[in-house]
Amino acid sequence: MHGIDRVAMISLHTSPLDQPGTGDAGGMNVYVVEVARQLAEQGIEVDIFTRATSSALDPVVRLTDGVTVRHVHAGPFEGLTKNELPGQLCVFAREVLRTEAMFPLGHYDVVHSHYWLSGQVGALARDRWGVPLVHSMHTMAKVKNAALADGDTPEPAQRVIGEEQVVDASDVLIANTDIEARQLVDLYAAEPARVEVVHPGVDTALFRPLDDAARAAARRSRGIPEDAIVPLFAGRIQPLKAPDVLLRAVAELLAREPGLRRRLVVPVVGGPSGSGLDHPTSLADLAVELGIDDVVRFVPPVAQAELAEWYSIATLVAVPSYNESFGLVAVEAQASGAPVLAAAVGGLPTVVRDGRSGLLVDSHDPLAWAAAIGQVAGDPAFRARLAAGARRQAEKFSWAATADQTLGVYQRARALMRESAA
């Protein structure tokens, strides 16, 4: 027996019920939901605490058998930015502790917090409940600030200090990749023995290649010609994710090969987020400025099943981010049979096999990205090899494996806490 019966997950700043691709909802939302579901499959009850952002939300929502989302009232429902949320930590923590107090002593066996704001609350719950704290950073201020996009806003000192405190308070830190583990040690002085690497996964039944007939039908339903070249971006529209790099690369490609214009469709699937909210039309304005607004198509965030179809009809999926702790878009796209062009940063070299499942680009220079797009789009045989390799690469990652390893981390965290108390 694993000895873990109930887990309190904390995802303060974004709800697992939110639609990924806009606001603060992204890969972390998918991660929390999928790991919770897989743990529930093993008979573990998971409560996910998140901040209520609407009075219409039920206080308790059953996500699936064994997984409950608890909406905590902390601050006004709307209008708070992520940078304003630290002011609500005390209220949020009080309500989390109050919920636990309704149950018999020792209700939860472990606290798993996601992102530094949640880690602050998790540290308090750890000490109050006498259970271990496992923390997943997902992103880190020091890493982001070291690779800022032009014009992006640096993460505040408050977050840097808060992250350092969470690292010190955690019994075990979960890193998505070996690179992230090294960053935790080198930048945050984490004890190497308390850092565990657990790769996120992908649902290969949902994200899968379409056959030729289904792919053609999916393109027709979206008004995309069957012979179109479709370089796709999916994700939150903000400087960190660098969708502008794809647009500038497309402009370079068309300047070099004007004849491609009649066959080119560039979907941007997602909504403004983060500092991108300051100028929500900036990417559309850039498309006009570059003279490519006729080929760029903006698509609001879509449900996972529809996103899988978008990936599958793409010629390639671009992930030009300035940093990614892992890159769920890259692994989802590969599972859908789409070659991925990814910036060689963060966890993306772990996800994408250069020359086998896609291409890694060592810069954010639009000329380099234009060349990479041209290489994949202009060589059908090469593209087919990448597409086959993409699916094989994605099959190395599964949410079941992620949950199994996470459960092992919970058990180790509990052992470490007992050792330190002895």
CATH topology of domain 212-395: Rossmann fold (3.40.50)
Of 296, 348, 293, whose CA–CA distance to 320 is shortest? 348
Do the beta carbons of residue 364 and residue 348 sit within 8 Å? no
Count Cα atoms within 13 angstroms, Cβ side, for 30. 22
Residue 44 in tokens: 């573990």
pLDDT in tens, 333-374: 999 999 999 999 999 999 999 999 999 999 999 999 999 999
Q: Which residue has the tokens 């449900």?
A: 303
Q: Which residue has the tokens 């030729």?
A: 212
For residue 419, pLDDT over 90 is answered with no
Binding-site residues from annotation for Mg(2+): 311, 314
Model-wide pTM > 0.85: yes
Fold match between 6-201+399-421 and 212-395? yes
Summarize the chain as % helix, strand, coil (round to 5): 50, 15, 35
Domains of the chain by residue range: 6-201+399-421, 212-395
d(CA 237, CA 181): 27
For residue 250, pLDDT over 90 is answered with yes
Binding-site residues from annotation for UDP-N-acetyl-alpha-D-glucosamine: 19-20, 27, 236, 241, 302, 324, 332
Sign of CA dihedral 203, 207, 209, 210: positive
For residue 22, pLDDT over 70 is answered with no
Q: Which pLDDT does position 23 carry in this prediction?
A: 63
CATH topology of domain 6-201+399-421: Rossmann fold (3.40.50)
Number of H helices, E strands in the chain: 15, 14
CB-based contacts of 297: which residues, under 8 Å, 6+ apart?
265, 266, 267, 268
Do the beta carbons of residue 110 and residue 7 sit within 8 Å? yes
Q: Which pLDDT does position 18 carry in this prediction?
A: 81
pLDDT in tens, 125-147: 999 999 999 999 999 999 999 98
Binding-site residues from annotation for 1D-myo-inositol 3-phosphate: 13, 24-29, 82, 115, 139, 159
Do the beta carbons of residue 59 and residue 72 sit within 8 Å? no
Binding-site residues from annotation: 13, 19-20, 24-29, 82, 115, 139, 159, 236, 241, 302, 311, 314, 324, 332
